[in-house]
Amino acid sequence: MGGDEAGPVPMDGHDFALWEKRVDALMVLCSSKGHFTVDGLRRALEDMGEDAFEKHSYYERWIAAVNQNLIEGGVYSLEELATRMEAVAQRGTTYGEAAHGAQPHSHDVHDHDGHDHD
């Protein structure tokens, strides 16, 4: 990457979506709690290869890397992840609907925007 040929720097800004902010928060929280290191995150990002940079957005790559490290660290299993992702898909067709799944252990029901907690 460093020193490679590349075109003009794209100046477009992008406003962070809630799910992206949540990915960022999960990375910070999991690493601060010792579940993986920033180096682990970087390693997983690099292991995705150059293609991933073109195909996926920044936080798409991040959630993939966070997940990779959590699986490797044994925090949850692939089976648990797959089952939950399937359940999430059943809840609705938008992020808003899917993120509002009834979670018995979650206090997340009212704070869909991540800001109106107290």
Residues 70-89 close enough to bind other proteins by CB under 8 A: 70, 72-73, 75-76, 80-81, 84-85, 87-89
> Exposed/middle/buried for 35, CB within 10 Å: 0-12, 13-18, 19+?
middle
- The string over 50-62, giving b where at least 16 C-beta atoms fall within 10 Å of a residue's C-beta and e elsewhere, is eeeeeeeeebebb
Q: Does 102 bind other proteins (CB under 8 A)?
A: no
Q: Does 2 bind other proteins (CB under 8 A)?
A: yes
Q: How many of the chain's residues bind other proteins (CB under 8 A)?
A: 82
Nearest distance from C-beta of residue 51 to other proteins, angstroms: 12
